Structure 1
Amino acid sequence: MAKNIQSLERAAAMLRLLAGGERRLGLSEIASSVGLAKGTAHGILRTLQAEGFVEQDATSGRYQLGAELLRLGNSYLDVHELRSRALVWTDDLARSSGESVHLGVVHQQGVLIVHHVFRPDDSRQVLEVGAMQPLHSTALGKVLSAYDPVAHTEAVEGDRKDFTPRTITGLAEFESVLELTRARGWAADIEETWEGVAAVAAPIHDRRRMPVGAIAITGAVERLCPAGELRSELVAAVRECARAVSRDIGAGRF
């Protein structure tokens, strides 16, 4: 029988400790809990930090789980499973709203559309599954950037291209939009990516309340914003749809 690699076992023990205990732990606490000398524990933590699995608070020196684990967790929650869980809910949302519905996940510095429900009319439409959308200007991208630290970093450090006169490209203004998104639980895109097109999106969370995707209603600006603001019933509908999918993947009621 092959032997386990001791250093990997120790690293796994540290990750489990950080996942199950206090939000942040000091080096002495971690070393004592896993039964290692402080020097050995520090070496493993330094490696985990370099790989993004652990982060160290600059002020206190205490450790917490890193954003790279979020990316791996999102991969574990397979895109096909997320899509299958969302099928009924997104179909219902398209039918009740009369507009197109998109399901998106973070992928390669953007938003990958993994499911698209056509607007329920006889108009000619193009399937957008597999298309990429920007993080900084779309409703899906803003929601993911607001809740997902990996997406946030990519949106902040990436090129925030000016698509229309309404596109927000300045960092301070963009961060303010993300703060507003977190405060109200949804994001809007009113002609910021495409002229004449508006969208509203809400986040999907897993059982640990981690963001794993987002759902958006998309349509002509004159239908979604007839009075200049997004119709409140559409905002409520997309938020309820995202909550329903979140509950289906174990997030519980919230």
Structure 2
Amino acid sequence: MAKNIQSLERAAAVLRLLAGGERRLGLSDIASSLGLAKGTAHGILRTLQAEGFVEQDATSGRYQLGAELLRLGNSYLDVHELRARALVWTDDLARSSGESVHLGVLHQGGVLIVHHVFRPDDSRQVLEVGAMQPLHSTALGKVLCAFDPVAHNDALEGQRRPFTARTVTLPESFESELATVRERGWALDVEETWEGVAAVAAPIRDRHGMAVGAIAVTGATERLCPPDDLGEDSGQGGATGPQVRSDLVAAVRVCARSVSRDIGNGRF
């Protein structure tokens, strides 16, 4: 059996780290996270930087994913049927909701963002295509876990890290929330992953009725949620009864159903 090439494995690990964590990481952060010597990590980063896969901020010295990696990723995403079918619908959803829209799929135990429509205003925003989000705490992830057995198992077997005081970490609490998602057909994340950020998501189903992705509207909590209905912290169980604007729920569900219909789901 052929052995894996260690240098390539390490380079791939660096890229995954930069894609799944903070936007920019220092050399020490990268080396310690991957258990590498600083000299080894620096050599990998220099090579990736020379190829355009990694960029270094001139001021802070921190590293982030480079434009060449995004270009290669987009060459794949351009032929991704789900993304292609969703383009028009997600653009319309961002325009009507006034918020960011994300399209995510299950990938390596997390949610891979394959399409991102910016919030239609003049604020500074960062393109999140190619970023990874956790399964257990995001609206996209919870939708996938509720309707995809593989995602469900990945979330149960993985580490359910508490990102905020509202993050659901206990297995029984997580299963209870997924049961609610299945019952109502959509998922909610109110400050469970990022402070001040809320999202609502709905599943995209293929011609066989299988959940192949999810669409979410994401924005500031004060815009997505009624101010008096954020609920109380429940320690290990997330928020008790947080609410989201009903018009956003309806809009996300219509968008997801429209994409589902375009990829062959005749149910809608």
Instruction: Check whether the contact 1:110–1:141 (CA below 8 A) recurs between aligned residues.
Output: yes
Instruction: Give secondary structure in 2 for the equivalent of 1:87.
Output: helix
1:123 maps to what in 2? 123
2:154 maps to what in 1? 154
Structure 1 unaligned regions, length at least 5: 1-77
1:113 maps to what in 2? 113
AA partner of residue 201 (structure 1): A
Instruction: Give secondary structure in 2 for the equivalent of 1:156.
Output: helix
1:177 maps to what in 2? 177
| Structure 1 position 239 matched with structure 2 position 258 | no
AA partner of residue 103 (structure 2): L
Structure 1 segment 16-31 matched on structure 2, within 5 A: none
Instruction: Give secondary structure in 1 for the equivalent of 2:266.
Output: coil
AA partner of residue 264 (structure 2): G
| Structure 1 position 93 matched with structure 2 position 107 | no
Structure 1 residue 226: Cα displacement: 2.7
- Distance, in Å, in 1 between the alignment partners of 2:118 and 2:135 is 22
Structure 1 residue 253: Cα displacement: 3.2
| Structure 1 position 203 matched with structure 2 position 203 | yes
Deviations 1:117-149 (A, max 9, x none): 000000000000000000000000000000000
AA partner of residue 180 (structure 1): T
**More displaced stretch, 182-191 vs 226-235:** 226-235
2:9 maps to what in 1? none
Q: How many residues align?
A: 177
AA partner of residue 151 (structure 2): A
Instruction: Check whether the contact 1:79–1:114 (CA below 8 A) recurs between aligned residues.
Output: no
AA partner of residue 107 (structure 2): H
Instruction: Give secondary structure in 2 for the equivalent of 1:86.
Output: helix
Instruction: Give secondary structure in 2 for the equivalent of 1:89.
Output: helix
Instruction: Give secondary structure in 1 for the equivalent of 2:91.
Output: helix
TM-score, normalised via structure 2 length: 0.65
- Distance, in Å, in 1 between the alignment partners of 2:206 and 2:108 is 21
- Distance, in Å, in 1 between the alignment partners of 2:246 and 2:267 is 22
- Distance, in Å, in 2 between the alignment partners of 1:230 and 1:173 is 20
CA RMSD in angstroms comes to 1.1
Structure 1 segment 139-150 matched on structure 2, within 5 A: 139-150=139-150
Instruction: Give secondary structure in 1 for the equivalent of 2:219.
Output: strand
Instruction: Give secondary structure in 1 for the equivalent of 2:251.
Output: helix
Structure 1 residue 80: Cα displacement: 1.1
Instruction: Give secondary structure in 2 for the equivalent of 1:116.
Output: strand
TM-score, normalised via structure 1 length: 0.69
AA partner of residue 88 (structure 1): V
Deviations 1:167-191 (A, max 9, x none): 0000000000000000000000000
- Distance, in Å, in 2 between the alignment partners of 1:220 and 1:120 is 14
**Structure 1 pair 150–99 and aligned structure 2 pair: CA distance change class (3 A):** same
**Structure 1 pair 208–79 and aligned structure 2 pair: CA distance change class (3 A):** farther
1:135 maps to what in 2? 135
1:192 maps to what in 2? 192
Which consecutive aligned stretches of 4+ in structure 1 deviate over 3 angstroms post-superposition?
A: none
- Distance, in Å, in 2 between the alignment partners of 1:182 and 1:240 is 17
Structure 1 residue 79: Cα displacement: 6.9
Structure 1 segment 37-52 matched on structure 2, within 5 A: none
Instruction: Check whether the contact 1:147–1:182 (CA below 8 A) recurs between aligned residues.
Output: yes
| Structure 1 position 252 matched with structure 2 position 259 | no
Instruction: Check whether the contact 1:137–1:167 (CA below 8 A) recurs between aligned residues.
Output: yes
Instruction: Give secondary structure in 2 for the equivalent of 1:144.
Output: helix
